[in-house]
A = this chain, B = another copy of it.
Amino acid sequence: MESILFSAQTSSDGVLERDFTLGDIAGVLWSPTSPASDRPTPLVLMGHSGGMHKRAPGIVARAERYVSDYGFSVAAIDAPGHGDRPRNRRDQQWVDELMRTRDAGESIAPVVAEFNASLAQRAVPEWQATLDALQALPEIGVEAPVGYGGMTLGTAVGLLLTAVEPRIVAATLGGVLVYDDLVEAARAITVPVELQLPWDDEEIRREGGLALYDAIGSKEKTLHVNPGRHNQVPWFEIDNSSRFLQRHLGWGGTLRR
């Protein structure tokens, strides 16, 4: 198994932030500078949106909150061809096609569905390798509960990953363009899921989000809807995600402030 290589680190306000690589995967690990207890620190894997990267503002805002308020560790990696990772020829064709259809005022849904499906399929084994390597770190270990969080592309990745990865015990997801493979993955999920949907998404129809919620196989699944366009989630939903993850990953009473 390959090991994580840390390349840079900064820390502020009790949050240690470290860049890492694992083969050609580029990631960031946020963790508490001093752990809250002797118990293993719960770990949250965060998948970014399409076109974004491991340090997207929504990822960073959540990561800092999860670490400083709940003492979790948070890892984010760039999706294939995103952030610091080179884009291959086929991905470039999808990006070009996306630009072309958007500029032409056509629906981008068919391209997004195909592109997301490919990215998510490639991201799943990368996340599994990353999780293996993170659990080999002494400050994380194999006993820490693991959760997942993501929006749009990060939701597509999260659905596929959560459906096949028994180490993930809870997932907080968002709006995503829904295609058949995602519905199938949703049906296979049994761990608690929180799904946050913007109600006025111009690219993703409400019906898709509601059908996805319906399909999730979990006994505990909670849907949060708010006014807002694509990828817009009010700030208080970060608080909700924190508490959802705390309920399912926390050891109890670890809120730090």
Contacts and interface: CB of A to CB of B under 8 A. Distances in A.
A205 interface: no
Contact of A227 (B210, B219, B243): B219
A167 interface: no
Given A239-B243, A243-B239, A223 B222 contact: no
Nearest to A197: B223
Contacts of A219: 227
A20 interface: no
A224 B224 contact: yes
Contacts of A210: 210
Interface in A154-210: 199, 210
A226 interface: yes
Contacts of A23: none
6 contacts: A220-B234, A221-B226, A222-B234, A224-B225, A225-B225, A243-B243
Contacts of A220: 226-227, 234
A213 interface: yes
A240 interface: yes
A225 B239 contact: no
Interface string A231-252: 0001010011001000100000
A54 B11 CA distance: 52
Contacts of A243: 236, 239, 243
A56 to B, nearest CB: 23
Contact of A225 (B222, B226, B236): B222
Given A223-B226, A243-B243, 8 more contacts: A199-B214, A220-B226, A220-B227, A221-B227, A222-B236, A223-B224, A223-B225, A236-B243
Interface string A116-138: 00000000000000000000000
